[in-house]
A and B are shown apart, each in its own frame.
Chain A
């Protein structure tokens, strides 16, 4: 375990902190290997994740894309080991390479093996990995002040007094461009707008300087103007704090703007992953291509070339209790090969340029 000693200095920041040392983006921060998370319901077992593999480097921004119900949010919750009951991680590894601090060396922790309620899991949660949720309107406790909620996070993970925690909180609120941060401290969530609340959530998530931030559709509930502001803010903060981000969204526009590397998921599996340019300019998997096709564009004709109606992906995501045999995408796929795609689920092939795709079309 101790063989993995991150090279860069410890991120040490005070309330008035500015950019820390440059982050070595070649160094692996999080490795997810063959992750399977299932939900054991009365009606049957839902295979929310069926073997997810991907890697996040330090300071990298990963985009997790897919339709609703493809397992994006469950992946995020598995990483934090907060999968809601009756869900459980049944297989796989989530190796998190923890940076060393003043009082302990760097270490590698398998989040999948930890007791979710244990102290190690809790110290990583919110401290090393934090999360911004989709619903800013309901993600903050309605009966506690903004200040109390952020200060709680800081006191849990940082060794500091109440006054210092308050100072850091004010500084964080200033950093996310909230006007009059001292005033916001004493406010309740319902007194703020959705965009302001999402800024508060970001401030809270970053208050302990995590090395990984998971943003689960952070802008879905906001209007476009606010959305753009929040995205810009996140980019700025990433530059300043140097954390890696896993950006979960179904908005490909956001992906294009925000991320370095894209992981496309379908029904609990990774179907394709590559750097952002390869995904947008040379998508391989039929599902990725359909996703890109369904982006509305001014002046573009549909696949049929006649009308200017929106192109949708044919069919719907299958019922989670009856996943089709073979490649789960084959019933909706235009390029499905009968006798092949409906019998075996292909493995992930690596193409040149570290482009990975799960499709028989790219079999050797």
Chain B
């Protein structure tokens, strides 16, 4: 097992290199660069474009040089100094910009993920074991609605209702006074008071899907002979369901954990924009439209790294929970 993991990690290095080159190249593909859009923006606003200033910026970021030189400069900085480059739009180092947002995003997405599973699994199990009962039908109806309503629409509805009915502002993750304040105990408490609304909105849309998956997987397992064997042994019905078929039906969950790792960063973009959350999604989108290449590059690089790590985690988890999967050849 250990050998397998080490081998997989070694294989990750060339994959990551390839992906980073690719993502950097893709950012450069559209015509123009950050300076062009910067200049366009300035002239649109009626400001004078200072050619000398543009020249200085171009010099600093090596914009005139070929793509591979730019890439090499960037990747060398990451590997040697942990320097992810400079965000041109924010005029700050990338590293300084993203970590706080990344942490917030992970907290939000992870809690949404956990909440969604904790709701979805018991409901899915109930639906499958009481197939075609009234509750099963209502849960099915609920999940189809949940699947059909996009998260951002739900966010808009909640935003509107909270504002018009309760006169509450549910947007954002912090109250105004804490928005720019340094981290403190009070700020954390303030965040906890705000985070549950976006968390529920994010959780609900995935809960619906997870209920359907749990129900379908479990229905497949319920009629397997090993369930009957357990029943013939005299195992208590509730224990039997959770110990045998549910256990097997959960395997697909483990194999998809990996994908959710990447969607932790980019998955909630629309909801985050509607609710103006300071998460990574909106920042990633903005960096792409503004051709803020180091920031965008960093995000893409992280996304792909997380996807690869997530796949590895999935594979390892699956091998642990399902003995039929063998890692050694």
Q: Which of A121, A130, A156, A190 contacts B323 (CB 8 A)?
A: A190
Does B60 sit at the interface, judged by CB under 8 A?
A: no
Residues of B within 8 A of A157 (CB): 234
Does B167 sit at the interface, judged by CB under 8 A?
A: no
Smallest CB separation, B233 vs chain A (Å): 4
- Name the residue in B223, B237, B321, B323 with the highest tally of chain A Cβ atoms < 10 Å from its Cβ: B323
Q: Which of A126, A134, A135, A143 contacts B233 (CB 8 A)?
A: A126
Chain B residue with the shortest CB-CB distance to A156: B234
Smallest CB separation, A155 vs chain B (Å): 10
Does A125 sit at the interface, judged by CB under 8 A?
A: yes
Q: By the criterion of a CB under 8 Å from any partner CB, how many residues of chain B are at the interface?
A: 21
Q: Which of B234, B248, B322 contacts A126 (CB 8 A)?
A: B234
Does B235 sit at the interface, judged by CB under 8 A?
A: yes
Does A127 sit at the interface, judged by CB under 8 A?
A: yes
Chain B residue with the shortest CB-CB distance to A135: B225
Chain A residue with the shortest CB-CB distance to B227: A141
Q: Which of B231, B233, B324 contacts A204 (CB 8 A)?
A: B233
Does B184 sit at the interface, judged by CB under 8 A?
A: no
Q: Report how far A280 CA is from B177 CA in the complex, Å.
A: 94
Does B29 sit at the interface, judged by CB under 8 A?
A: no
Does A266 sit at the interface, judged by CB under 8 A?
A: no
Chain A residue with the shortest CB-CB distance to B324: A190
- The answer to whether A143 and B247 touch across the interface, beta carbons within 8 angstroms, is yes
Interface of B is mostly: helix
- The answer to whether A201 and B229 touch across the interface, beta carbons within 8 angstroms, is yes
Does A329 sit at the interface, judged by CB under 8 A?
A: no
Does A82 sit at the interface, judged by CB under 8 A?
A: yes
Flag B228-256 by CB within 8 Å of A: 1 or 0 each.
11111111110000001001100000000
Q: Report how far A298 CA is from B323 CA in the complex, Å.
A: 46
Does A233 sit at the interface, judged by CB under 8 A?
A: no
- The answer to whether B233 and A139 touch across the interface, beta carbons within 8 angstroms, is no
Q: By the criterion of a CB under 8 Å from any partner CB, how many residues of chain A are at the interface?
A: 32
Q: Report how far A82 CA is from B237 CA in the complex, Å.
A: 11
Does B226 sit at the interface, judged by CB under 8 A?
A: yes
Residues of A within 8 A of B226 (CB): 138-142
Within B189-244, which residues are at the interface with A (CB < 8 Å)? 223-226, 228-237, 244
Chain B residue with the shortest CB-CB distance to A157: B234
- The answer to whether B233 and A156 touch across the interface, beta carbons within 8 angstroms, is yes
Residues of B within 8 A of A153 (CB): 233-234
Does A123 sit at the interface, judged by CB under 8 A?
A: yes
Q: List 19 A-B contacts (CB under 8 A).
A: A125-B232, A133-B225, A133-B228, A133-B229, A134-B225, A138-B224, A138-B225, A140-B229, A141-B226, A142-B248, A142-B322, A142-B323, A145-B323, A153-B233, A156-B233, A156-B235, A188-B323, A188-B324, A190-B324
Q: Residues of A with Cβ closer than 8 Å to B?
A: 80, 82, 84, 117, 121-127, 130-131, 133-135, 138-145, 152-153, 156-157, 188, 190, 201, 204
Q: Residues of B with Cβ closer than 8 Å to A?
A: 223-226, 228-237, 244, 247-248, 321-324
